[in-house]
Each structure stands twice: as structure tokens, then as C-alpha cells.
């Protein structure tokens, strides 16, 4: 896809280009009529798919709250800073991918122990930004999604937490010195042109001056030009278990479906996948056909069941991961990679078995 940006073995897209592509696909589809106006109510008749996103407007959120009969939940989502590539000191930083897998698409900023010590102390004592006015309603019981946890929150869990997380040095060798550093900060392309790079794993809620001060302590970023500072904001999602079923339909009003991040899935692909499942079933409902529940062996089916049934403890947003699909019936030799490949092959076989029903 032309929207992809190099990211080693990871999947990354130019967010603006990707958004434009999706929007154009919708606008140009012959069977889709687009009305650009605010929706504040749920239609009282017909099949409805609600995909208003994690920052649903206040009137629509109130309508959904009345329908669900439950209080809204909040989790705090954070984004990482972006710096100008031209301002990165490449005499200190170096290009490499972990274990030299794929292309060397990441910029790596190595730290020795003394540099990490100073950075760590500055990070855990840095001043955090105040919550925005619309966020204050949820501050008494904030829920931080693990996949977007602010780097300063992660650091406060322990001295080595970052070194086993986003600053993990293993597999990153600076060929100029021939060894691994004590810690490494990685930066990934934010756009295809490679003029902007984001700090991987550096979602943050620090004040802008503190971000400039603390993150400029990273070797190679001493004179970095920050094009965007990290911010933290509220995302709204449903307490879906017991409310939605495995097709994302409302259990007590099955003509209404929800899709996207507000259901409790997290990520571009996960949101699109929930839309696919909801869309297929909305179309089947419109033709008075039986619901199509995707097999739990597939990631689409496993995500839908997680949303509809929940896990252990409080419900919180979930990325796609191998932990939510059923384990293999037989052990597979070859370690984690072989096991995951076998799980993937099983999922593809399960999808093939229902493909005709999906395309009906």
C-alpha cells in the first residue's frame, strides 16, 4: 500500500494518508450515501451501526449512555512526541533494526549507564500536565490502557522497567563501537518522506517544557526540534461484556450494532476488523438472515468474543494478540514462532470454512 511507511518488521502507516485513502474509498463507493452532519440520536427503526469513535460528541455520548443504561468509562490514551529528522544528531544516533531483521528503518539513540541514570531521575520527577476540562470528569478513576501507558508512569514502576520495555537495548548493536548500549531510545518514521520521526514508546503526559528538557537529555536529541509534543487525552468506550454479543450487536436490541474503538478493541486493524464483523452481520440482519459468528480460532472472532464476554477482572481495551485465541490442542515444536504460525494457519482454515457465508 502507498500509505505504508518503513518500520522494519512492524506494520506502520502514514496516518494522514491512510485516513485520506479510507475516506476516499467511502465517498467513491456507489452504494454508500454520505451525509456530513452531526448525529445526536440513534434512529428508532431499521438496522443501525454506531461507529462514532473514542471521542464521540457529548450529545451522542449522552444518547448512547441512555441506551446502555450504564455510566461511561474512561481510559487515558497518550501519544508520543515527533521530532524533525534534520535536528537529530546522527553522529551519536545510528540506523538499525533489532537483530538486523529487515531494513534498518529505526533511528537508535544509545545511552550508557550514567546517561540513563540522569535521564531516569529527570523523567520520574518531571512535572505532568493538568487534565483538560473535558477530562476532569474521569480523573477520580482513571484507566490507563497498557498499550499507551505514559513513559513516565512506566518508569515509576521501577528502574529497569524501561530497559525491558521501550528502551530495551538487546539486539541493537552500534557497529561504530561493536557492542550494545545500556539502554536505547528508538525513533520510527512518522511519514513516508522520513522528515518526521516519533519516539517509540514515549507516550507522555508531561508538560511541553518538561518534554523539551527531559527528552533533550537523550543522546542524539540534544538539539532536537519537536514538531509535536506528546499529549494525553480521554477516550470513551463501552463496558461491552453482557451488552454486545459476538457480532457486536446490542443483545437486547439486535438491530443496533456498535463498531470501532468504542467497543473496546484498540488499534487501526482491530477497529477495522470489528467494523467488518458488524457490517457483515448488519447486512445479514437487513436480509433477515441468521447472524454469522466468526470462529473463536480467528482473531476477528476472538476479539468479538472478548468484547462481548470480557476477561478476568475489570474490562479494558484490548489489542489483537495470540493470548485471546484458544490454545492449540497439540504442542508444536519450534518455540513461540512455530506455535504462532500454527495458530495463524488454524485461523486461516477456519475463515476458509465460512468464506462463502461472509460473501453472501
Return the C-alpha cell found at 99: 537483530
pLDDT at 161: 96
**Separation of alpha carbons 146 and 259, rounded Å:** 21
**Separation of alpha carbons 3 and 58, rounded Å:** 32
CA angle 302, 305, 308 (to 5 degrees): 155
Q: In Å, how far from its chain's centre is CA 146?
A: 10
pLDDT at 73: 57
C-alpha R_g of the chain: 22
pLDDT at 131: 65
pLDDT at 71: 60
**Separation of alpha carbons 36 and 168, rounded Å:** 46
Element spanning 281, H or E? helix 268-286
**Separation of alpha carbons 85 and 173, rounded Å:** 21
DSSP symbols for 242-277:
TTB-TTSEETTEEEEEE-SGGGTB-SHHHHHHHHHH
pLDDT at 140: 46
Return the C-alpha cell found at 360: 453472501
DSSP label at 70?
A: S
Element spanning 72, H or E? none
Predicted TM-score (pTM) of this structure: 0.67
What is the edge-to-edge ordering of all strands in the sheet holding 94-96?
Answer: 94-96, 106-111, 183-189, 196-199, 82-84, 226-228
- Please identify which residue in the block is written with the cell numbers 498499550: 147
Residue 103 CA: distances (Å) to CA of 96, 167, 181, 278: 8, 20, 20, 37
CB hemisphere CA count around 19 (13 angstroms): 3
- Helical packing angle, 335-358 and 299-309, nearest 10°: 90
pLDDT at 138: 45
**pLDDT tens, N- to C-terminus, the chain (360 residues):** 667 767 666 677 777 888 888 899 999 999 999 999 999 999 999 999 999 988 788 899 889 888 887 565 566 667 889 999 989 999 999 999 888 887 888 999 999 999 999 999 999 999 998 766 445 544 444 555 566 789 999 999 999 999 999 999 999 988 888 889 999 999 999 877 788 899 999 999 999 999 999 999 999 999 999 988 998 877 778 888 889 999 999 999 999 999 999 998 988 889 999 999 999 999 999 999 999 999 999 999 999 999 998 765 667 678 888 888 888 888 888 888 898 999 999 999 999 999 888 887
3-state SS assignment for residue 279: helix
For the chain, which domains are there? 40-70+238-358 (3.50.50.60), 78-235 (2.40.30)
Residues 6+ apart with CB under 8 A from 230: 78, 79, 80, 81, 150, 199, 202, 203, 204, 205, 206, 211
Amino acid at each position: 500500500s502507498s500509505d505504508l511507511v518503513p518500520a522494519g518488521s512492524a506494520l506502520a502507516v502514514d496516518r494522514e494518508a491512510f485516513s485520506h485513502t479510507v475516506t476516499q474509498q467511502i465517498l467513491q463507493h456507489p452504494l454508500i450515501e454520505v451525509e456530513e452532519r452531526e448525529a445526536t440520536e440513534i434512529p428508532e427503526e431499521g438496522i443501525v451501526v454506531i461507529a462514532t469513535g473514542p471521542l464521540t460528541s457529548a450529545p451522542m455520548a449522552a444518547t448512547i449512555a441512555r441506551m446502555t443504561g450504564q455510566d461511561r468509562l474512561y481510559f487515558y490514551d497518550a501519544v508520543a512526541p515527533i521530532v524533525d529528522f534534520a535536528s537529530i544528531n546522527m553522529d551519536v544516533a545510528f540506523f538499525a533494526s533489532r537483530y538486523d531483521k529487515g531494513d534498518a528503518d529505526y533511528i537508535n539513540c544509545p545511552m550508557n549507564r550514567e546517561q540513563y541514570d540522569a535521564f531516569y531521575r529527570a523523567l520520574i520527577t518531571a512535572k505532568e500536565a493538568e487534565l483538560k476540562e473535558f477530562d476532569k470528569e474521569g480523573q477520580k478513576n482513571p484507566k490507563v490502557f497498557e498499550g499507551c501507558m505514559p513513559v513516565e508512569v512506566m518508569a515509576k514502576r521501577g528502574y529497569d522497567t524501561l530497559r525491558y520495555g521501550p528502551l530495551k537495548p538487546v539486539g541493537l548493536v552500534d557497529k561504530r563501537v561493536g557492542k550494545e548500549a545500556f539502554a536505547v531510545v528508538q525513533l520510527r518514521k512518522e511519514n513516508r518522506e522520513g522528515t518526521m520521526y516519533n519516539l517509540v514508546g514515549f507516550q507522555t503526559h508531561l508538560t511541553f517544557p518538561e518534554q523539551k528538557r527531559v527528552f533533550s537529555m537523550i543522546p542524539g536529541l540534544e538539539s532536537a526540534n519537536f514538531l509535536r509534543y506528546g499529549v494525553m487525552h480521554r477516550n470513551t468506550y463501552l463496558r461491552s461484556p453482557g451488552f454486545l454479543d459476538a457480532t457486536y450487536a446490542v443483545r437486547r436490541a439486535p438491530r443496533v450494532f456498535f463498531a470501532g474503538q468504542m467497543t473496546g478493541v484498540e488499534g487501526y486493524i482491530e477497529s477495522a476488523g470489528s467494523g467488518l464483523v458488524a457490517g457483515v452481520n448488519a447486512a445479514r440482519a437487513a436480509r433477515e438472515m441468521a447472524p454469522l459468528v466468526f470462529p473463536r480460532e480467528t482473531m476477528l472472532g476472538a476479539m468479538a468474543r472478548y468484547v462481548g464476554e470480557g476477561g478476568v477482572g475489570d474490562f479494558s481495551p484490548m489489542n489483537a494478540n495470540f493470548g485471546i485465541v484458544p490454545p492449540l490442542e497439540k504442542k508444536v515444536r519450534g518455540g513461540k514462532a512455530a506455535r504462532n504460525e500454527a495458530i495463524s494457519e488454524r485461523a486461516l482454515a477456519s475463515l476458509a470454512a465460512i468464506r462463502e457465508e461472509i460473501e453472501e
